[in-house]
Chain A
Amino acid sequence: MTALPDVVKAEQSLGSRIAGVLGGTLVRIFLIVIGLFWLLPSFGLLMSSLRDREDINSSGWWTVFTAPSQLTFSNYDALLSNDALMDSLVTTLLITVPSTLLVVVIGSLAAYAFAWMDFPGRDWCFLAVVALLVVPVQVALIPISSLFDNLGIYQSLFSVILFHTAFGLPFAVFLLRNFFAEIPRELLEAARLDGASEVRLFTRVVMPLGGPAIAALGIFQFLWVWNDFLVAFIFADPGSPPTTVAIQQQARQFDNNIDVIASGAFISLIIPLVVFFAFQRQFVSGVMAGAVK
């Protein structure tokens, strides 16, 4: 009589073990299917970019599996000789790099002041910056376009850079101030006693120690500006727009321009992907800081 329950128990645990293994396999299969499903759209773009316009317009990209001979780099050749899109890549860089640097520099200066300097209304000012974190870009489109128009800088490189810098600042100040405030007080005091000026303290102590946060911010801002469409759509010179706007201009005749659209879109997403893979940790920590505009 006493042996029976043991047997039953053993059977149960064997059964649940089988169920566990089966469940584990099912979970694996499910995740692999989902992963492939997630890759499918981007893979479709890549394959489309490697096919002739006639091929793209007559059959699906999956036909490359049965007829690999249709793969060609001709779209990338077409892209290289498409001045509008090549110039747009340069424009994108000319917008992205200054916007990123300006946000990092101006943001760090303000963040340092908020973290380590004493001035009246400091806490209130910082609260105001935090309040501005969630202001939608859309609110500023009309007022700022007429303001820039009056200043004579509407639809220029400068206007896009200014706009991106300003809207990147609340997050920059917020993120960096919290990071700078963690710097040990003794370090700063020691440097101060050695006779370092405020500027020297900032460039030699605070900026180097703030490295990780500055990297996260920089990558975040870089991707944000590189990928932006709306701000550039309104504030960039329509004659020499950045890549996102240039692709959108071509997309008005989607089927006719599909060759340069597909290859251009692929080139435009390669840079962010490289940045993403190279600085994955910083990117994720930027996202984790609660930062998605």
Chain B
Amino acid sequence: MTSAVKPSGKPAKSVMGTRRWVAMLFLLPAAVLLLAIVAYPIIYSIIRSFFDQSGDSFVAFDNFQALFTDEDNLTAIKNNVIWVIVAPSVCTALGLIFAVLTERVSFGAAFKMVIFMPMAISMLAAGVIFSLVYQQDPERGVANAVVTGIHDTFSESSAWPGARPRPNDDVLAGPQKGPYTTKDTVSAGSPALLPLVAVKPQDLETAKPATEPKAASGGGISGTVWVDFKPGGGGKLGAIDSGEKALKGIKVEAVKDGKTVASATTGDDGTFTLPKEADGAKLALPASNFGEKYNGVDWLGPSLITPAIIASYVWMWAGFAMVLIAAGLASIPRELLEAARVDGANELQVFRRVTVPLLAPVLVVVLVTLMINVLKIFDLVWVISPGANLKDANVLAVQLYLLGFGTDTDQGMASAIAVVLLLLVIPVMIVNIRRLRRETRR
């Protein structure tokens, strides 16, 4: 819950003559609730963790041993370790960068509000938001839309997945999915007709009609790549009939002795022209023309699911780090930074040598608070993981829920997880108490 315990003032003496039973009355409701609902479960869990599934026989540390041997539990522990290390440090680093940079711009307050806003919404709503972001289909999920967009910018996407020559075609042959190569060499003056089939009709809706190759000048090779299929039947195999559609954007390479000597891409009408170097070469349509479309990253698949959910956590909590760090930053004396600048330090040096060391206490508080928070992460994992992948995204809090309330319950094991969670926060508990006692003694 908290790691920054800041008690203020000494506990004052009673304001004259409060009777003891009055004090008890004021404390009673809080005491009852805290003892029954917060304190009692600690003792219950500790005891329960030493008993087996049925709760009847004492098994000593067997549950704890199983915690570190059972496969599902180990996945949960492994993921929890990743969470506790990665999420708080990324949040704190981003928070630090944002806090420092916003100090110098006029719209800093608005920026801070935008970053901080996700903290006000529920993890469940954030889970729904990121379920939409991570949808697999690049037509629907914005993450994959961006990834495929970038991918397609840097590597040509295949224009006609699945297109191929007719089996036993006279002109083209090759392994499935290409490359398809002409059986004979081509020569200047005789246009190359390269017929393909197996293109989905809906992909051809916008395609132009195929045209006969234009005569190439200067000894070049011209040709046409088109769909040799006339809708409605009829049409001659290997010839361009009216109504047959052009395949645009297909890469055609001229290959001589295993080397590509020239290449061209078909235009809207399916025609292409190769320079005279291509004379006497075989024409090849590389496999890149026919591969399946790149479909983006499998965000919620086994390997990326934990990083993907951590990213959604960072989206929510970087603002928390930023606000606390910005407050710490505001209390750093400006003269110290100015002095460093006057001594000739550049901004990066001021940041690394002055700002960060002075902020260290705040950074530690932010890191520890986030670690405690992340230790118990449940909602985001539960909502974003598609049922089948919950196993891969498992964390301790989810495993505790599954063992305590799922279909295959083992309350002994679940209590052991609860005890482990408790043990992990005890150092922070001790730090809080010691700080408080130091302050009150003063």
Contacts and interface: CB of A to CB of B under 8 A. Distances in A.
A272 B121 contact: yes
Contacts of A82: none
A290 B129 CA distance: 27
A8 interface: no
Interface stretch (B21-29, B62-70, B73-81, B207-215): B21-29
A56 B137 CA distance: 11
Given A135-B422, A178-B9, A287-B323, A140 B37 contact: yes
Contacts of B379: 229-230
A226 interface: yes
Contacts of A201: 15
A276 B415 contact: no
Given A59-B140, A288-B324, A162 B42 contact: no
Interface residues of A, number: 112
Nearest to B122: A227
Contacts of A42: 117-118, 129
Given A60-B141, A110-B30, A171-B1, A130 B436 contact: yes
Interface in A193-246: 198, 201-202, 223, 226-230, 234, 244
A240 B213 CA distance: 71
A261 B125 CA distance: 9
B432 interface: yes
B404 A141 contact: yes
Interface in A72-119: 106-107, 109-110, 112-119
Nearest to B120: A276
A63 to B, nearest CB: 9
Interface stretch (B98-106, B155-163, B198-206): B98-106
Given A113-B27, A117-B26, A139 B418 contact: yes
A24 B105 CA distance: 8
A41 B130 contact: yes
Contacts of A129: 34
Nearest to A137: B376
A130 B429 CA distance: 8
Which of A24, A118, A268 lies at the interface centre, i.e. has the most chain B CB atoms within 10 A of its CB? A118
Contacts of A60: 139-142, 145
A115 B12 CA distance: 6
A152 interface: no
B302 interface: no
B58 interface: no
A39 B110 CA distance: 12
A181 B369 contact: no
Which of B18, B23, B115 lies at the interface centre, i.e. has the most chain A CB atoms within 10 A of its CB? B23
A291 B9 contact: no
Interface string B387-408: 1000000000100110011000
Nearest to B142: A44
Given A119-B20, A293-B1, A265 B124 contact: yes
Interface residues of B, number: 108
Interface string A1-45: 000000000000000000000011001101100110011111011
A230 B124 CA distance: 10
Contacts of A130: 5, 432-433, 436
A272 B120 contact: yes
Interface string B1-19: 1111111111111111010
A227 B121 contact: yes
B315 interface: yes
Which of B22, B30, B131, B133 lies at the interface centre, i.e. has the most chain A CB atoms within 10 A of its CB? B30
Contacts of A134: 1-3, 372, 425, 428-429, 432
B294 interface: no
Nearest to A41: B129
B120 A275 contact: yes
A68 interface: no
Contacts of B115: 34-35, 38
B122 A109 contact: no
A181 B8 contact: yes
Contacts of B225: none
A31 B121 contact: no
B342 interface: no
A198 B117 contact: no
Which of A31, A125, A129, A287 lies at the interface centre, i.e. has the most chain B CB atoms within 10 A of its CB? A31
A243 B129 CA distance: 15
B39 interface: yes
Contact of A45 (B23, B104, B114, B129): B129
A117 B16 CA distance: 9
A44 B8 CA distance: 44
B34 A170 contact: yes
Contacts of A229: 122-124, 378-379, 382-383
A293 B376 CA distance: 10
Which of B27, B29, B142, B320 lies at the interface centre, i.e. has the most chain A CB atoms within 10 A of its CB? B27
B373 interface: yes
B124 A117 contact: no
B48 interface: yes
Given A118-B23, A229-B379, A141 B1 contact: no
Given A118-B23, A138-B397, A266-B125, 11 more contacts: A41-B129, A41-B133, A60-B141, A62-B142, A133-B432, A134-B429, A143-B40, A166-B36, A230-B378, A230-B397, A273-B121
19 contacts: A23-B347, A31-B101, A106-B30, A106-B33, A117-B15, A122-B11, A130-B433, A133-B432, A138-B401, A142-B48, A144-B41, A169-B34, A178-B9, A227-B125, A251-B131, A268-B122, A268-B125, A269-B121, A293-B373
Q: Top 9 closest A-B pairs, CB basis?
A: A290-B4, A227-B122, A118-B14, A166-B37, A110-B30, A276-B120, A143-B41, A143-B44, A140-B41
Interface of B: 1-16, 18, 20, 22-24, 26-27, 29-31, 33-34, 36-42, 44-45, 48, 98, 101-102, 104-105, 107, 110-111, 113-125, 128-133, 139-142, 145, 315, 320, 323-324, 327, 347, 365, 369, 372-373, 375-376, 378-379, 382-383, 387, 397, 400-401, 404-405, 411, 414-415, 417-419, 421-422, 425, 428-429, 432-433, 436-437, 440
